[in-house]
Chain A
Amino acid sequence: MLSVRDLRVSFCTEQGMVQAIDGVSFDVAEGEILGVVGESGSGKTVSLLAVMGLITDPNAVIEGSIKYQGRELVGLSAKDMRKLRGREIAMIFQDPMTALTPVYTIGWQIAEQIRAHEKISAKAAEQRAIDLLQEVNIPNPAEAIHLYPHQLSGGMRQRAVIAMALSCNPSLLVADEPTTALDVTVQAQILDLVRKLQKNYKSAVVFITHDMGVIAEIADRVMVMYAGRIAERGSKRELFSEPQHPYTQALLDSIPPLEGKRPHRLKSIPGAPPALLHRSTGCAFAPRCAKRFDACVNMPILTANGHDAACFKVNPI
């Protein structure tokens, strides 16, 4: 349904071109949940903002191909993109505290989106908003539509944001770390809700997170990103049982074990992700990798057989 090929996003800065996304390709199939994992600055959000056409920075250059149901999105006019956004592709953002306009009621904001895409009366839009709030388990939806964002808790606000994203029944939902700003119990409720709605609405979901635990909970397939490239991708089962890329292995090792002896200290990955400005020509993870060897001064190529990794250990050339 969504097919991204060789996507490159770069920003002109005073120090020169910064390549934020460097040749990323992936597909999202109808009704699946794709988990995208990576550290801050790995390009997971930027690549999906590019899909949404939400990179408004005039210094950004987007190259490659993004096809949504056969339609090319790169270079699509702002007007056509707007018709797609919110109706076909919807997005949930990281921080529910700031994602809603503070001066309007949540019912008004949901109805606004419905009426931007469909010709229906204000009254019908309001009824739809009530139904949607009911669906995301907000108590007393008929009264809740008259509440302002500041009158709701973080979890409730995120539910309202989800209700808004679902209001036009999108076939693709992009969730950008929707649980990061919430506490753990609320996090679990929101994950349950996303899974339930994904079943009911049969939308495909791209779920961006930096939390391997969340991925294990929700994703069908997983894509691990590092420094603007894909490090590894595969089904959730494959990726968790036999991780191939040393970065994925290190990420999984840093999760505290539930059974057995409690480790003295959790494992961490030494070093920090590379600065975007001074990219090496070799494997970006090499400076932090425990398994690096001579070949790593070259750029590894992502394999293409279902469960892929961009590492010379896996794909020696």
Chain B
Amino acid sequence: MLLAILRRVGQMFFVMVGISMLVFMIFFATPGADPASRIAGRNASPEILEAVRKSFGFDQPFYVQYLIMMKKIFITGDLTSFVNRGWKVVPAVLDTIPVTLSLVIGAAILWVIFGIIIGTVAAATRGSWLDKLLMILGLIGISMPVYWLGEVMNLVTQSRYHDTWMFSWVPPLGYKNLSSDPKGWFLTLIIPWITLAILYIGLYGRVLRANLIEAMQEDYVRTARAKGLSETRILLRHALRTSLISFVTLFGLDFGALVGGSALLTEVVFDLHGVGKLTYDALQNLDLPVIMTTVMYASFFVVLANALVDVVYILLDPRVRSV
């Protein structure tokens, strides 16, 4: 077990070093990419360019610049923005993490619960009108772009129907701190959670249904029937348990990506200042230290999510344990 954890940590280290070098190269070392001229502006004189280059340390060799940046992110934590000089980047990213985590974890709980319920009910009633209805709803959920759905949600809950009994409880957009205002935190996030989860509920429900139907054709299900078990028990204890393995794989990938900043569109629509929003803003004005830091953070979470998936695998599938 300790060895497995160490291997994971090592893996995480390599992934992060690789990604950081790649991102650094793209913005600093590709031909034509001159950060100094970008910072100095379009019509800057050569003297100003030179001054900028010196002031930001671009006159040093690449590896020195890279190492200084890494040191400032991980050791001293005092990396400052290129655009907004003096603005500390690392605390800014750390501030956004609770927002993104609140959004994504809440949505994940919703989509796992409803994905499992919808997939199982559809598989159990395969071919019936209920199954068809659920699958069509799932398809609609997958097809709706999250930025559009979010805007519609806002239109309905913030403006058109806000003053009716249905949505008068919905607070204005923005994030409330969990520790100081738990009720506000919960209320502001309900609509974003639902919006983000709908796509994944549809997707996971459909995938699980397909897996369950495949599992119900397996020999061990016939054995379970021959044992005289009820159909419900066969579906839940035998077929669902084995089908959850691919469900978990999918979950690890999606969860890692969302925590890493893929929830950007939801964050923008609902005015939540999360990691995605921060990265998006940094990309708008090419604020390299911020991009670098958020990328580091994202790759850390993707690797962490995959490590967690491996742990869940071990719990779910005994065949993995002996390897």
Contacts and interface: CB of A to CB of B under 8 A. Distances in A.
B218 A98 contact: yes
Interface in B233-256: 233, 237-238, 241-242
B168 interface: no
Contacts of B223: 91, 93, 99-101, 161, 164
Interface stretch (A80-88, A256-264, A273-281, A309-317): A80-88
Contacts of A103: 241-242, 316-318
Interface in B251-283: none
A32 interface: no
Contacts of A86: 226-229
Interface size class of B (residues with CB under 8 A): 20 to 34
Interface string A136-180: 000000000000101100000000010011000000000000000
Contacts, number: 77
Interface string A58-95: 10000000000000000000100011111100110101
A82 B229 contact: yes
A86 B230 CA distance: 12
A128 B264 CA distance: 57
Given A93-B219, A100-B223, A101-B238, A151 B228 contact: no
A255 interface: no
Interface string B209-234: 00000000011101111111111010
A312 to B, nearest CB: 39
A297 interface: no
B230 A150 contact: no
A127 B223 CA distance: 22
B55 interface: no
A102 B222 contact: no
Interface stretch (A12-20, A109-117, A199-207, A232-240): A109-117
Contacts of B228: 82-87, 113, 116-117
A29 interface: no
B319 interface: yes
Nearest to B321: A148
B164 interface: no
A254 to B, nearest CB: 29
Chain A CB within 10 Å — which of B220, B233, B317 has the most?
Answer: B220
Nearest to B231: A78
Contacts of B226: 52, 54, 85-86, 90-91, 93, 165
B227 A99 contact: no
Nearest to A174: B226
Contacts of A116: 227-229, 233
B322 interface: yes
Contacts of A104: 241
Nearest to A167: B227
Contact of A54 (B222, B238, B242, B318): B222
Contacts of B318: 102-103, 105, 148, 150
Given A95-B219, A150-B318, A150-B319, A102 B242 contact: yes
B316 to A, nearest CB: 7
A56 interface: yes
B277 to A, nearest CB: 41
B37 to A, nearest CB: 60
Nearest to A58: B127
Contacts of A113: 227-229
A56 B219 CA distance: 13
B225 A54 contact: yes
A84 B229 CA distance: 11
B218 to A, nearest CB: 7
A113 B238 CA distance: 13
15 contacts: A54-B222, A58-B127, A85-B228, A91-B226, A93-B222, A98-B220, A101-B220, A101-B224, A102-B317, A103-B318, A113-B228, A117-B228, A150-B318, A151-B322, A165-B226
State the 8 A-B residue pairs at the shortest beta-carbon distance, nearest first. Answer: A86-B228, A98-B219, A85-B228, A91-B226, A113-B227, A148-B318, A86-B227, A101-B220
Given A54-B226, A91-B223, 13 more contacts: A78-B231, A82-B229, A84-B228, A86-B226, A87-B228, A90-B226, A93-B219, A102-B317, A103-B318, A148-B318, A150-B318, A164-B223, A164-B227
